[in-house]
Amino acid sequence: MQGKRILLIVAGGIAAYKTPELVRLIRKAGASVTTVLTSGGAQFVTPLTLSALSNAPCHSELFDLTREAEMGHIELSRSADLIVVAPATADLMAKMAHGLADDLASTLLMATDTPVLIAPAMNVRMWDHPATRRNRAILADDDIDMVGPDEGGMACGEWGEGRMAEPEAIMQAMGELLGPPAPALTDASAPLRLPPESVIIPPAPRRLAGRHVIVTSGPTHEPIDPVRYIANRSSGTQGTAIAAALRDMGARVTFVTGPATSPPPSGVDVVRVETARQMHEAVQAALPADAAVMAAAVADWHVTNAADRKVKKDGSGAPSLQMAENPDILAWISRAAQRPRLVVGFAAETDDVVANATAKRSRKGCDWILANDVSPETGIMGGDENAITMVTESGAEAWPRMTKVKVARRLADRIADALQDGAR
Ligand code: CTP
């Protein structure tokens, strides 16, 4: 972190008591730090502490005309190498997710394209609240990185997830995001300066430029009659994130999606289908491809006696549905004449995840299976996070639980490696 410039935003939570230590560690690592304190944060830590430890003024006012003349808020956020929000409260995360800018901290976060790392800290119920879950998903989608929160006892006496990550863990996350040290010319003690216009943030490496990847996503709907259908709980979140990650790495993506709740990403060729049989046809039509990722939750059966008109209840008992198996798109593409070089499947399991996924991999004939435990208590189906075990020819590799966006990026990287090596 030598020579890096950190802008540290301290929001209002009891965990703010840990930020002076964070400031000390940042400086000890050879980086400079400028602090911004929200009015809530000032209830827990004083501007004097932060400015003394950072050896720089602590900012808190949006409309401070003297400072505005010296250093506008735009400059303050853009001249940093990394913005760290610690603690990030539920309130500040909500503002970030929805673009509110009503104080210095939220305005800085809106006015920047500098990478942002947040260290959330809040009561476990606030962390688990559907509104915070939604905001977390939006922030992950916006490429905001997150460290923690940890599980443990809380100041309010409850136990659970929501404690801010320890300063050492925040330092480690910062180090990972900042990458190699800045050129020796940078003086860590120098005041923040506006970078020249010519400084641009390098785009994500386009390692999949010139490659075509087919991604299936979402559930399928199998009609019973014109108004009823058989479906499943897939939201399409994971498939959508995968298509976006592959696109960001330069791939041409054909995104074959069932009726999912998450909208398809921009910049991909979207083919909308309803049934498994339509999905199969769309995948066939999209070949040839370099790789295929079958992330859809395809219905296993369709109704063969689906009615043309709405089935009425006429007192003669419930209708009986006859069903036939749907084509297995993953098994089909794995043995197709135009088989993509790399075929990746998913396995939604509720028990014996690795054993079932390993068996599924050989049965379907694909190269990799990303297996996840979709038991209701995991919250994975329809949630924002995923816990993947990747099963390949050489065995099973457990990935830590992470957002579906991060799973997608990791998978896209692995696909780029495999296509580059010519390996599977
Ligand atoms: N899949 C597919 N076509 C189907 C069924 C599944 O392409 N008709 C793909 C899915 O997209 C996923 C993988 O196969 O990549 C495994 O899906 P899963 O639902 O876990 O397995 P099933 O094949 O349905 O097997 P089972 O019901 O025995 O678990």
- pLDDT tens, the chain, 424 aa long: 888 999 999 999 899 999 999 999 999 999 999 999 999 999 999 999 999 999 988 988 766 645 554 456 667 777 789 999 999 999 999 999 999 998 889 989 998 888 999 999 998 889 989 999 999 988 988 889 999 888 777 777 777 788 999 999 999 889 888 875 544 444 444 444 433 333 333 445 689 999 999 999 999 999 999 999 999 988 899 999 999 999 989 999 999 999 998 788 888 999 999 999 999 999 999 999 999 999 999 999 999 999 999 999 989 899 999 999 999 999 999 999 999 999 999 998 888 999 999 999 999 999 999 998 888 777 766 667 888 999 999 999 999 888 888 899 999 999 999 998 765 5
Q: H helices within 257-342, ranges in order?
A: 276-286, 329-334
Q: Establish if 330 belongs to a structural domain.
A: yes
Do 395 and 274 have their domain in common? Answer: yes
Instruction: Determine the structural domain holding residue 290 and report its residue range.
Output: 212-305+323-421
Q: Establish if 146 belongs to a structural domain.
A: yes
Q: Establish if 352 belongs to a structural domain.
A: yes
Do 111 and 234 have their domain in common? Answer: no
Ligand 1 site, residue 369, Cβ cutoff 6 A: no
Query: 214, 330, 332: which to mutate for ligand 1, most atoms within 8 A of CB?
Result: 330
Write down the residue that tokens 């135009």 correspond to. 338
List strands edge to edge, sheet with 342-349. Answer: 269-272, 252-257, 212-217, 291-294, 342-349, 368-373, 388-392, 395-398
Ligand 1 site, residue 283, Cβ cutoff 6 A: no
Q: What 8-state DSSP symbol labels residue 15?
A: G
Can you point out the beta strands (E) in 218-354? 222-225, 228-230, 252-257, 269-272, 291-294, 301-303, 323-325, 342-349
For the full predicted model, state whether its pTM sits above 0.75.
no
Q: Establish if 120 belongs to a structural domain.
A: yes
Give the residue whose CA is nearest to atom 18 of ligand 1. Answer: 347
Specify which residues 225 forms β-bridges with: 228
Can you point out the beta strands (E) in 147-200? 150-153, 159-163
Rounded-to-integer distance, Cα 95 and Cα 101, Å: 7
Do 266 and 346 have their domain in common? Answer: yes
CA atoms lying within 13 Å on the CB side of residue 174: 33
The alpha carbon of 297 and the centre of ligand 1 are apart by a number of angstroms equal to: 7
Phi, psi of 3 (to 5 degrees): 80, 0
List strands edge to edge, sheet with 116-120. Answer: 58-59, 32-37, 5-10, 82-88, 116-120, 145-146
Domain CATH for 77: 3.40.50.1950
- What is the total count of domains within the chain? 2
User: Which domain-ending residue is among 178, 199, 234?
Assistant: 178
Of the candidates 52, 131, 155, 156, the residue annotated as catalytic is 156
Do 269 and 385 have their domain in common? Answer: yes
Tokens found for residue 301: 């059966």
Rounded-to-integer distance, Cα 266 and Cα 291, Å: 20
Q: Establish if 238 belongs to a structural domain.
A: yes
156 is catalytic: yes
Do 260 and 398 have their domain in common? Answer: yes
